[in-house]
Structure 1
Amino acid sequence: MNSAVATGAKPAIRPLALACAISMSILAAQAGAQDLAPSSAPSTVVVTGARFPGDAASTPIGSTVITQNDIRRAGVNDVNAAIRKIGGVFGRQSLDGSPDFGLDLGGFGTNSAQNMVIFVDGVRLNENELSNTVLSTIPIDTVDHIEITRGGNSVLFGEGATGGVIQIFTRRAQQPGLHGSVFAEGGQFHEHDVRAALSQVTGPIAADLSVMRQGTQNYRANSAFDQDSMSLGLQTRFEGGRVGIRVESARQDSRLPGSLTLAEFEADPRRTKTPLDFGALNTDRITAFGEVRAGDVDLAAELSHRERNARSNYLSTDYPSVGAYDSRQDQLSPRARWRTQVAGMGNELVGGIDLIRWKRKTTSDYSLADASQSSKAVYLHDALRFDPAHDGRLAIGARHELFDKDYSDALSPGSAQSTAQSQNAWEAQASLKPLPLLEVYGKAGQSYRVANVDENSYTANGAILKGQTSHDVELGASVGDEARKLTLRAFRHKLDNEIFFDPTPTAYAPFGANTNLDPTEREGFELDGEARLAAGWRATAHLQHVVARFTDGPNAGREMVLVPKNVLTVRLAWQPTANQTVDAGAQFVDHQRYGSDFDNSCPAHVPGYATLDARYALQLNRWELALSGLNLADRHYFSNAFGCQDGIYPSDGRQMKLSVRYAF
């Protein structure tokens, strides 16, 4: 074993320092080589870094914007795939046959879903339980753009935003009259996807409707997945604002293929050991929203109600069980923005409150638990443009949040818990353009998360887990314009009381338990590049390098589990003629520790892998025909493995698909 890893000694050159050195050498060289004429006009994409719309010049530091055109060109069928394939975010194969891969911003392994926050039109989607956020229920045809902001963002977005924030924004129907599209796709594994979208604008009133039917037998035995979803929106505009309502509903049915050992995977990755297991998930969400401008002040709010009903049937074991989880969540998020001039400098002050109430009822053979959580948060964020000539920006912010949690289980006497916790977040950031094509920035702050109901209900001695805090530092630089651009971001998260499942057996928990870990760290850099290579050719790339390890305690220096050190995503788009497009991509994922390997004693790693995908589309007036393929090299690999060479969930093999789309 490497002595530096075994003893916790620091390497001679740490990733943060290395990234800064790369930044100064590469970026300075490119800045000097570039023509220093003013850059081209800003994009018309509307961004929302401070939870209010703004122009592209206000893009949040360290953010990636995926547009509707990007989604169409890549041919992705769901939001999760767009985030992975276009945004370069690492994702782990889902456990239930759904397209909802486990997304990981910043290298947080199996707890990645609890260390990032996902919003749709200002409404938080994260659940207060150990489950991934379900994105497949959002019809892809309703998406206008997606913003991915990496790094600590708890001031504006609350608990869990240490790894980053993903915001999804649906389209606002604006073109007068009736418009719409119909899409149908079929592929291997009996895959089918049928979608229809309509929008009608009459004067100040706009309505839109999207329906979707998806299904597949999937790659593995007993992994079939079927889903129906619907989204209906209605809004009206008036001078200085708008109000509206959106209703969404989805129904999922999944077969559950279970896990394999390494020997079973190598013999037949398509097999299942749980042929009788299945589950279902129903979700319904209604959101009312409003925006109004009064002089220099913008006011906005969302009021949402969500219900989630999950069913599980594990019938393939000697001890079959049936379970049901019924949860609901209400959120009210009013906020205000005041834009004014301070000593001749533009200033933007944003303040708001977030009120969330969540409840869940469990009905199963092993639990009759009632759980609830309410949170109340207040935040302020101020951004000052101090040097208009060099686009200088300075921002500071703070947040205070209170949590009240209650839990009891009629089948577990003495399990009742009631606790109150509070957490604080702060941030300070600055950016400057010393040259027309060069921008540099820095961020520092504190983010946090609290244990969810599943984590608190399974601890070693029944104790309530402490809140997790992270001290976040980020440095970056960006050089270039819309034709060629390179962005380097170096980051470090130093975490205290990280909340994680520790599989180490103890006298209180012979199979492991959720706990507060000894101090840990995530450190690394991300490199983004995009370039127009020639007429009709465009390339993009995203590289993430992260070292995740313990920094103190008996595991000091050891690597965290299920965190690949390197993830590289590359895409190439080619438009040979006005009515033809070709889009191809590749992703390389480095090896990683098995999920139970806390002491780094497992003699093997989850192997690294690379996958290829491509799409060709032909436009014929209002019709589009497309042929696409996933995992074109038909690699046998896996990204989820919860034991040492065990607990493996194989990833999908090669799949070819043919689609047709008609727009009017």
Structure 2
Amino acid sequence: MRGWKCWPLTLVLLVTPGLCFGEEAKKSKDSLVTMDEVVVTGTRSEEKVERIPANVTVIDQEDIKNSSARTVPDLLRSQEGIVVRDLLANGKSAQVDLRGFGEAAPYNNLILVDGRRVNEIDLSGVDWTQIPLDQIERIEIVRGTGTVLYGDNAVGGVINIITKTPSDQFAFSAGAIAGSYSRVKEHASVSGGQGPLAASFYGSYDSTQGYRENNDYRAKDVGGKIVYDVAQFLSLNMTGSYHEDDYGLPGPLTKDQLAVNRRTSLDPLDKAETEDGYVKLGSDVFFGNWGNLVTDLSYRSRDSKSDFPDPLFPYVIDSQIETYGFTPRYVHKGDLMGRSNTLVTGVDFYWIDQDLKTYSGLLSSSTTLTGLADISRDSYGLYVNDDFSVLENLILTFGARHEKADYDLHQRDLSAFPLAPLDETVEESENAYTAGLTWLYSGKSALFGRYNRSFRFPLTDELVLFDYVAGNIRVNQDLKPQTGDHYEVGARHFFTSNLQANITFYRAEIKDEIFFNKATFTNENYEQTLHQGMEIGCRADLFEILTLFGSYTYEKATFRDGPFDGKDIPAVPRNKFNVGFRIHDVIPNLVFSADYFYVGDSYLISDQANRFEKLESYYTLNLRLSYAWKWVNVFAGVNNVTDQEYSEYGLIGGFTSTPYYYPAPERNWVGGIEIRY
């Protein structure tokens, strides 16, 4: 990397933990976790953070407002245990990795929006741009597997993005943002209510030319939420949104090409577009001392199209996915044998259908239909989870889940030399368990430990195999569900209400971890892998004007047998840390913030043998200044202040096994204004 030496900033990081453990600070109104912080992700019911046997973080509106983040993945960069890889630098294809799963991270982490799953059944991953940052109330992060409560995908952790809830107070906001690379965004929202009815609606438009050639992005979003308190015992709600975008696919570059021009593209015509909409109906029925029944019914439609107009072999992929969900759950909070007890039990039903069309041609436009697929996956998951206070300050957590998935796979090859069609069904089922203990040894300070068993079912793309030797399309019979045993212990300590630190040690023994083998071009299972590490976070609110925070993550993900025994899993850096500060109200309503990020080196994706040069470590420094006056807020920020040249994503590609990289933006700026009433 070129640029400044990073030792002065590294020294700041070493000093910050000392501040977090230093003498008592004055009380601040801007704490990350308040004394009454309640989350819903850790138990699928409202529960105080300190009672959950896991490393839990809540990012609230104050953190979002003072951040230099443009997208949700940007916001998650500062969190311990999380590594972000943004291929296109606009959030569209970002990978968020909890606890070191590398290339397979999008399929081993569960992402929720208001408790609704947004992970797809294929390899498309999570579309982070469908969630406008200005509509988020808070983000709850539960590190470590959440398979008992949420089922498939929740191996490395669960991230629940909770959108703003309307109130009966009238509110209006509108804003505009401008930045480098012709970035422009306009957004507006309105909310209010009367009596038992409250509603909110929003709309936004976002566009940029992007850092590189063919890196443009344009998106439109509209959505809303309605809450109706029918009676004291019944509440109804409806949420929905519609998102559409189109964007360029600039592709990767070799190291030599990066040296000539980092911003160029070898694929100047590759494009993609998306239409994504959903609606969710919810009800909450209260039975007094008998608990409450929460029911969510959802529908989502996602159409995506990718166009690769290669002059020799043009190719188009057109996918439509429809998802129906029904997730009733019963929650009972009361006493059991004179002790506090919370029981959550429910069932998750999902019915998912995908229609896939491929078009290709030889020395012509890609208008010839060459492939058809009709794929469905129906699943149900039955679960129970209980938190029982053995003592007033000792909470025992235990639970179990059984989940079954049925795949119906139909695929046709319509090319000039077609393979035999696929018409098969597959059934998979797995069980998960959890047991944990939380000891509240002083106020909110706690020690915790837990064991979990996780599973991940194969994605539909992973199950389908094009066998050109046998001349057919068939099910990948050798591919098995992935399972794991997870162990973790940790501590959360509050020196005062505004001075806190946490540390967590974890170990995950994964069996049959699913990966794509570049050598055979098939999805296979690693027999045994090991993911282990340490997460540290701290925060101090000092003198009512200064907030300091820092985090450190050590991750070691390795193969435990087979041809790669002892080698590192690619795309998992051993070290990552973040340090930052917020100075607020030295001048009334003025906030200055700085964030420094460091990510260590890692092996390139598909380099399981660890033969190639590593993806280099990198660091960035972001600054932001904001000022609020009455109902007006203005801000300006600079990202990558030291103008580093780096890449977050690298892979071994092509038949020649060449290293390729996706370059990240150099120094760039952003500014905006927002009016709130």
Q: How does 1:10-29 map to 2 (within 5 A)?
A: none
Summarize deviations over 1:615-635 as a string: whole Å, max 9, x none: 100111111110012212221
Matching of residue 351 in structure 1 with residue 345 in structure 2: yes
Counterpart of 1:577 in structure 2 is: 587
Matches of 2:424 and 2:88, distance apart in 1: 30
**2:89–2:664 Cα contact (<8 Å) kept:** no
| Cα offset, 1:289, TM superposition | 0.7
Of the candidates 586, 597, 601, which is equivalent to residue 591 of structure 1? 601
Q: What's the CA shift for 1:370?
A: 1.5
Q: Distance in 2 between matches of 1:41 and 1:652?
A: 36
Paired-residue identity, %:
26
2:274 equivalent to 1:267: no
Residue of structure 1 equivalent to 2:367: none
Following superposition of structure 1 onto structure 2, how do residues 200-349 of structure 1 map, counting pairs within 5 Å?
A: 200-237=192-229, 238-296=231-289, 297-349=291-343
Distance 1:44 1:447, change over 3 A: closer
Q: Secondary structure at 1:156's aligned position in 2?
A: helix
Conserved? CA contact 2:282–2:294, under 8 Å: yes
2:437 maps to which residue?
430
Aligned to 1:186: 178
Mapped pair 1:144 → 2:141:
no
Residue from 91, 99, 118 that aligns with 1:125 = 118
Q: Match of 1:80, SS?
A: helix
Return the alpha-carbon distance in structure 2 between the equivalents of residues 185 and 201 of structure 1: 29
Deviations, residues 213-237 of structure 1 (Å, cap 9, x unaligned) = 0000010001100000011211201
> What secondary structure does 2:104 align onto?
helix
Contact conserved, 2:68 with 2:622, CA < 8 A, in 1? no
1:485 maps onto 2:500 in alignment: yes
1:598, CA displacement in angstroms? 1.1
Task: Give deviations 1:219-272, integer Å, cap 9, x for gaps.
Answer: 000110000001121120131341011120000100110111111112211000
Give 3-state SS (helix, strand or coil) of 1:429's partner.
strand
Q: Kindly state the Cα deviation for residue 482 of structure 1 after the two structures are TM-superposed.
A: 3.1
Query: Is 2:401 the partner of 1:387?
Result: no
Within the candidate set 129, 138, 150, 1:157 is matched to 150
Query: Number of matched residues?
Result: 624
Partner of 1:652: 665
Question: What secondary structure does 1:577 align onto?
Answer: coil
* In 1: Cα distance, 2:243 partner to 2:401 partner: 34
Residue 554 of structure 1 aligns to a residue whose secondary structure is: helix
Q: How far is 1:125 from its partner?
A: 0.7
Equivalent residues in 2 for 1:401-480, closer than 5 Å? 401-411=403-413, 412-436=419-443, 438-458=445-465, 462-464=475-477, 465-480=479-494
Which residue is 1:494 aligned to? 509
Cα distance in structure 2, aligned partners of 1:201 and 1:420? 47
Contact 2:247 2:272 survives alignment (8 Å): yes
Q: Which residue of 2 aligns with 1:197?
A: 189
- Distance in 2, Cα, partners of 1:265 & 1:89: 27
Contact 1:81/1:99 (<8 A) preserved: no
RMSD: 2.2
Unpaired segments of 5 or more residues in structure 1?
A: 1-25
Correspondence 1:67-82 to 2 at 5 A: 67-82=60-75
Query: Judging changes above 3 Å, is the alpha-carbon distance between structure 1 residues 60 and 215 closer, same or farther for their aligned structure 2 residues?
Result: farther
TM-aligned CA deviation for residue 98 of structure 1:
4.2
In the alignment, what sits opposite 1:626? 635
Change (3 A) 1:328 1:234: same
Q: Is the 8 A contact 1:49 1:58 kept in 2?
A: no
- Alignment partner for residue 531 of structure 1, among 519, 522, 540? 540
Tell me, yes or no, if the aligned pair for 2:138 and 2:163 is still in contact at 8 Å.
yes
CA offsets 1:290-348 (integer angstroms, 9 cap, x no match): 11210221110111100010011101352111120111111100000111212221011
d(CA) in 2 for partners of 1:358, 1:642: 31
Unaligned ranges ≥5, structure 2: 1-16, 26-30, 360-369, 414-418, 468-473
Paired with 2:316 and 2:573, the residues of 1 have a C-alpha distance of 35
Q: Per-residue deviation at 1:122? A: 1.7
Task: Give me the whole-angstrom Cα distance separating, in 2, the residues matched to 1:327 and 1:266.
Answer: 40
- Greater mean deviation of Cα atoms: 86-95 or 542-551: 86-95
Aligned equivalent of 1:617, options 626, 632, 640: 626
**How far apart, in 2, do the equivalents of 1:331 and 1:50 lie?**
19
- Distance change in 2, residues 1:88/1:443 (3 Å): closer
Q: 1:532 to 1:567 in 2, by over 3 A?
A: same
Q: Which deviates more from structure 2 when the two are superposed, residues 376-385 or residues 291-300? A: 291-300
Q: Letter of the 2:563 partner, please give it.
A: P
Distance 1:373 1:427, change over 3 A: same
Q: Structure 1 residues 638, 159: closer, same or farther in 2, change over 3 A?
A: same
Runs of 4 or more consecutive aligned structure 1 residues displaced over 6 Å after TM superposition: none
CA deviation profile, 1:502-556 (whole Å, cap 9, x unmatched): 223xxxx3xx321011211101110011112433111122211110110112211
The whole-number CA distance in structure 2 between the counterparts of 1:41 and 1:182 is: 29
State the Cα distance separating 1:85 from its structure 2 match.
4.0
Residues in 1 aligned to 2:199 and 2:168: alpha-carbon distance in whole angstroms: 11
Taking the aligned partners of 2:529 and 2:177, their CA distance within structure 1 comes to: 45
Residue 654 of structure 2 is aligned to residue 662 of structure 1: no
Contact 2:50–2:446 (CA under 8 A) maintained in structure 1: no
Structure 2 residue aligned with 1:7: none
Q: Are the structure 2 counterparts of residues 106 and 56 from structure 1 closer, same or farther at C-alpha, using a change threshold of 3 Å?
A: closer
Opposite residue 529 of structure 1, the aligned amino acid is C
**In 2: Cα distance, 1:46 partner to 1:472 partner:** 22
Using a 3 Å threshold, how does the CA distance of structure 1 residues 152 and 78 change in structure 2: closer, same or farther?
same
CA distance in 2 between counterparts of 1:522 and 1:88 reads 12
Return the offset for 1:583.
1.6
Instruction: Name 1:399's counterpart in structure 2.
Output: 401
Matches within 5 A, 1:29-178: 42-58=35-51, 61-85=54-78, 89-95=82-88, 97-176=90-169, 178=170
Aligned-pair distance for 1:141? 2.5
In structure 2, distance between residues paired with 1:85 and 1:433: 27
Distance 2:249 2:461 in 1: 21
Per-residue CA deviations over 1:46-78 (Å, capped at 9, x if unaligned) read 544211223455456211100111111114333
Supply the distance in 2 between the matched residues of 1:44 and 1:649 (Cα, whole angstroms).
39
Q: Could you tell me how far 1:656 is from its partner in structure 2?
A: 0.6
Aligned to 1:22: none
CA contact (8 A) 1:70 1:86 kept: no
Q: Contact 1:128 / 1:452 at 8 angstroms: preserved in 2?
A: yes
3-state SS of 1:136 partner: helix
Amino acid at match of 2:197: I
CA displacement at 1:589 relative to structure 2 = 0.6
What displacement does 1:142 show? 2.2
